[in-house]
Amino acid sequence: MATINFGGVDETVVTREEFPVEKAREILKDETIAVIGYGVQGPGQSLNLRDNGFNVIVGQRPGKTYEKAVADGWVPGETLFGIEEACQKGTIIMCLLSDAAVMSVWPTIKPYLTPGKTLYFSHGFAITWNDRTGCVPPADIDVIMVAPKGSGTTVRSLFLEGRGINSSFAVYQNVSGNAMDKTLALGIGIGSGYLFETTFQREATSDLTGERGSLMGAIQGLLLAQYEVLRENGHTPSEAFNETVEELTQSLMPLFAAKGMDWMYANCSTTAQRGALDWYPRFHDAIKPICQWLYMSVKTGNEAQISIDANSKPDYRDGLEAELKALRESEMWRTGAVVRQLRPENLKK
């Protein structure tokens, strides 16, 4: 592990240079890694581990997702099993189910969490709020986490590009004395670019805050508000979308992702520069109270309970599809679909 200074604060990080995949394979050479769930994170993490030379099996119930696993090369009866059999065979049980599914499948998984095994998560939700989820692991096993900072699709695509997604890591229970080594080996095995240390509680609260805030909830709210104001003042859908979304995602985001927003401010027109410098403090002052409110709602478990309650409703899927359909069929994102078709790379097809 290395100590890196981030903006004046020292943090512990691990890179592939100091912890190569060969070392990870040596640490886990006697382990059978059972990936439970093949939905969002399961495919990326299991395929990366397989490609990196680890002993991996998948546990998934029959259905469309099971068939997807077969299409990805997992062989029924050899590397693909039902959840119970995979948990029985695995020495490291990677619980990559959705938060709602973890709660429903927990009674199936728990009997196989026998002494000497390791339970792995990629999200701190089930453990942090286990008074609500009921997911209390036995005291005689290792409990660890590697949480990629992105979707399972990105975990896989960055790996195939020879890059890697950043991940946080944490140890909740270290019964064997080797939990940290196993955690880091799995983090490298799934293709992490670098790993930074956290706790289950910190990961869960920061993750729920981020996805409700700048990663998804707040960004949709901001984009929609600006789009609506432009449309209400006579701008066409194409103009409103290009000035609100397309320029942001296609031109500016790649630049400040590579060089930082400070570079962006220093390398735009003087008009844009002046406007950005004047207006970002106003947005900050307006938005920070909402972020504080959001964080407290997450930290107190309120957001976890809302999620648990919503996902437990028998008609949840129907309601969810109605909400997603409304988003998909909104003028802004219908306009976006047309704009994407007009990008040069799509017109050539």
Q: Which residues are designated catalytic?
A: 123
DSSP code per residue over 41-106: SHHHHHHHHHHTT--EEEE--SSHHHHHHHHTTPPBTTTEE-HHHHHHH-SEEEE-S-HHHHHHHH
Q: C-alpha distances in angstroms, 190 versus 8, 51, 118, 158, 180?
A: 30, 9, 16, 11, 15
How many Cβ atoms sit within 10 Å of the Cβ of residue 56? Answer: 24
CA atoms within 13 A on the CB side of 56: 26
The amino acid present at 236, given as its one-letter code, is T
Tokens of 238: 């194409």
DSSP assignment letter at 149: S
d(CA 304, CA 208): 9
Long-range contacts of 320-329 (CB under 8 A, 24+ apart): 327/220
Nearest C-alpha neighbor of 84 from the set 100, 69, 106: 106
DSSP code per residue over 150-212: S-HHHHHHHHHTT--EEEEEEEEE-SSS-HHHHHHHHHHHTTEEEEEE--HHHHHHHHHHHHH
d(CA 70, CA 265): 49
Q: Are 39 and 209 in contact (CB under 8 A)?
A: no
